[in-house]
Amino acid sequence: MGVNSDPLLGGEGFLTTTIETLANWGRKNSLWPMPFGTACCAIEMMGVFASRFDLARFGAEVARFSPRQADLMIVSGTITYKMASVCRRIYDQMPEPKWVIAMGSCTCGGGPFDSYAVVQGIDEFLPVDVYVGGCPPRPEALIDAVIKIQKKIEMQGAPLV
């Protein structure tokens, strides 16, 4: 992007950019998260949305409980195989472009649950963009993950279809 305030060209100033950059700028600053909370990490995620940590400062406060209106899935909590098909279906229902944060040790790699019922990391069935370790991670860590997603959108973006 570049700013031009030449009086010959209108005086007030204008920007030159590409449509894709503009769209990605909008996407990155207004992420609409779909909270997929299944366990204790979801409590920490609520803390991130609430006033003390306030994810609204990064434009991502509009938690949508419908995948149709979301572009960032925050999977927070233990995912069992029975839940995994639900999780995958909800991800499939989200419109493109979309990103995924795996929040907490359980979603990253099964956490303490090395058992017959628990998925050992949601990357078995979902394309994860950012992994956040911790049990549960501090709210700052989730905010950092959102900022990393923003950087990813800024640098890689997504094609305009």
Partner 1 sequence: MSVDLEPVIDSLKNEFPQDIIDIKEYRGETTLLVSKERIFKICAYLKDGLDFTFLADLTAVDYLEVKSPRYEVVYHIHRFGPECEENVRIRLKAELSEEDIEIDSVTPVWSGADWLEREVYDMFGIEFIGHPDLRRILMPEDYEPFPLRKDFDVRNREASKRSFEKALEEGAD
Q: Closest CB to partner 1 among 25 and 125?
A: 125
Decide if residue 6 touches partner 1 (CB under 8 A).
Answer: no
To the nearest whole angstrom, how small is the minimum distance from the Cβ of residue 72 to partner 1? 22
Could you give the string, one character per residue 64-103, with x where binding to partner 1 holds by CB under 8 A and - elsewhere? Answer: ----------------xxx-xx--xx--------------
Near partner 1 by CB under 8 A: residue from 114, 155, 159, 161: 114
CA dist., res. 123 & res. 31, Å (int): 21
Beta strand 2-4 pairing with 14-16: antiparallel
Q: Closest CB to partner 1 among 93 and 156?
A: 93
Q: Closest CB to partner 1 among 64 and 88?
A: 88
Query: For residues 12 and 51, is the Cβ–Cβ distance under 8 A?
Result: no
To the nearest whole angstrom, how small is the minimum distance from the Cβ of residue 86 to partner 1? 8
Q: Closest CB to partner 1 among 45 and 106?
A: 106
Decide if residue 120 touches partner 1 (CB under 8 A).
Answer: yes
DSSP character at residue 137: P
The count of chain residues that interact with partner 1, using the rule CB under 8 A, is 13
Query: For residues 63 and 56, is the Cβ–Cβ distance under 8 A?
Result: no
Token pair listed for 37: 């909370």
Decide if residue 109 touches partner 1 (CB under 8 A).
Answer: no
Closest CA to 147 of 51, 75, 48: 48
Closest CA to 134 of 98, 103, 88: 103
Query: For residues 65 and 35, is the Cβ–Cβ distance under 8 A?
Result: yes
Judged by the rule CB under 8 A, the positions of this chain that interact with partner 1 are 80-82, 84-85, 88-89, 114-117, 120, 125
